Amino acid sequence: MRSEIRVIEAAAVERRFSASQIIVICKERANRLFVVSEGCLNYSSVTDDGREILLGRLVPGDAFGIATFLSEPGCYLGTAKAVCDTTVFFWDYRLIRQLATAYPRLAENGMRIALRSVALHVERHVALVSKSARERVACALARLGTRGGRVLPTGIEVDIKNEDLASLADVSLFTASRLVTLWERKGILEKSRGRVLIRSPERLLAA
């Protein structure tokens, strides 16, 4: 089991992407499995009229390209774009299939990731239908903080533009901006271009 991991790790290729570089494109054939190692990236789909919809923010430990586990490979469900300098590991399709048959626990992990993804989407859907814009933005910010936020003595720092935050919470850029400045006035957080410092996650969610 320990040795399994060593073999799989040894087979990985490491690649570095700089900010705003694109790693995979939505709807293209999924011929690689990726795992984020460092940095973070936006995973997004697009509407018919070309607007970008953030499906999620991927941080170290997150994977995409799970469709590589299937015998007839599917497609990437989103476009992955590096937010900051980011390194990923990847495995080619053939390789993943071999490893997955050799080590069934690998395939099971893929399944676990896929199911968690379904659960997240269901949760987001329910929130979108039943919660207010304010709650959704607060929740999105808080989640960004707990996943991939830098812990500073003064609070939790997150790299996010208002536009991306808006898309994550399914809200217009303007309402996101208004909410953030409102919270800043209340001292719940501090905002600067492309970054948010969350001083009090509790008060954020309580609002």
Partner DNA sequence: CGGAATCTTGAGCGGCTTCAAAACCTGTGG
Partner DNA sequence: CCACAGGTTTTGAAGCCGCTCAAGATTCCG
**Would you put residue 99 in left (φ > 0), alpha (ψ -120 to 50) or beta?**
alpha
Residue 18 burial by Cβ neighbours in a 10 Å radius (0-12, 13-18, 19+): exposed
Contacting range for a copy of itself; rule: CB under 8 A; set: 45-53, 84-92, 147-155, 191-199: 45-53
Comparison of 11 and 84: residue with beta carbon closer to DNA:
84
- 3 makes contact, choosing from DNA, a copy of itself, none, with CB < 5 to 8 Å by partner type, with none
Comparison of 64 and 90: residue with beta carbon closer to a copy of itself:
64
Alpha-carbon span 197 to 191, nearest angstrom:
6
Contacting range for a copy of itself; rule: CB under 8 A; set: 118-126, 144-152, 155-163, 181-189: 118-126
**Would you put residue 201 in left (φ > 0), alpha (ψ -120 to 50) or beta?**
alpha
Contacting range for DNA; rule: CB under 7 A; set: 102-110, 139-147, 149-157, 168-176: 168-176
Q: What are phi and psi of 162, to 5 degrees?
A: -55, -40
Q: At its nearest, how many Å lie between a copy of itself and the CB of residue 29? A: 14
CB atoms within 10 A of CB 186: 13
Residue 162 interacts with DNA (CB under 7 A)? Answer: yes
- 36 makes contact, choosing from DNA, a copy of itself, none, with CB < 5 to 8 Å by partner type, with none
Alpha-carbon span 206 to 171, nearest angstrom:
19
Among 31, 87, 109, 175, binds DNA (CB under 7 A): 175
Residue 32 interacts with a copy of itself (CB under 8 A)? Answer: no
AA letter at 8: I
Instruction: Tokens 């390789």: give the residue.
Output: 95
Residue 188 interacts with DNA (CB under 7 A)? Answer: no
Query: Which of 171, 158, 136, 194 shows the shortest CA–CA distance to 59?
Result: 158
- 85 makes contact, choosing from a copy of itself, DNA, none, with CB < 5 to 8 Å by partner type, with none
Contact residues: DNA, CB under 7 A: 132-134, 161-163, 170-175, 177-178, 180-181, 184, 191-194
